[in-house]
Amino acid sequence: MPVLSPQQNAYAQYKNNKIMSASGPELTLMLYDGAIKFLNVAEYAIEKSDIQKAHNNIIKTEKIIEYLRNTLDMKYPVAQDFENMYSYISRRLVEANLNKDKDIVVEINGHMHAIRDNWVEVMKANHVFVKDA
């Protein structure tokens, strides 16, 4: 296990506290932000022909989407819309990873930005405090 500097340790503790104190909607927003970050890294890695880095970051995005799918409460009609969206994104991520296709990564990143932005608006409409949005 690597030894962290005092600054790194403080930042890691801050991130952990931020996650542990977040509400459900805020955690969902963090997941969307994480997926976008990993897609950005994957896109850059594909451009630089870093196949392993692209693969790892697409897989991280796939895991986030899988988690989001598993947390859907299907008793609400809107959950089916999210399921359809996440299912499409999952299929496209597999295709992007198999072919290391930057265009698909860019497409999915666009969808994730739109989903994230809509989620922020839903949070605001429901008076959920949105930090750093």
Domains of the chain and CATH, by start: 24-125 (1.20.120.340)
Q: Does 2 score more than 80 pLDDT?
A: no
Query: Are 46 and 54 contacting, i.e. CB atoms less than 8 angstroms apart?
Result: yes
Q: Who's near 22: CB < 8 A, 6+ residues apart? A: 30
Query: Which pTM value belongs to this model?
Result: 0.83
Task: Write out pLDDT tens, residues 39-75.
Answer: 999 999 999 999 999 999 999 999 999 999 999 999 9
**What is the pLDDT at residue 3?**
73
Among 70, 76, 88, 79, residue whose Cα is nearest residue 31: 70
